[in-house]
Structure 1
């Protein structure tokens, strides 16, 4: 996570945007009166929103936590995948 003041960001906008999108950085833009702003990539934002949606549903959350507990308790197994035949 990077922190930069507004003036420095404005003078180097492309550089910071490239760091955000290419290096998956989060940038905190510091401003007067502690009215800071956080910049992140659209990909990171969409990921956060998807997690909020999935974990915001109690039945989804419970199912994920049950699956996690099964994995942690060794109740998981690996299987070979086979290709499906296609009709042409």
Structure 2
């Protein structure tokens, strides 16, 4: 796996910084961010997609990405689209 660095939350300091990358092999967006609290997780389960199990599978989690990082996510989406087109 080879990750293309997109950006890091400039407001988070030097530790535990939410970060966004694009996987250059399959164009997936990879994100490190804050673990969602139990209230948020419960609401995600409650408002799950129709027809899906009302649980979060062991291999998945809910994360929270700060709103001020939306421009980085847009940049990651653009990079992922370019990468996917090249595959």
Q: Which is helix-richer, 1 or 2? A: 1
TM-score (norm 1): 0.28
TM-score (norm 2): 0.28
Higher relative contact order (CA 8 A, sep 6+): 2
Q: Which is strand-richer, 1 or 2? A: 2
Structure with bigger gyration radius: 1
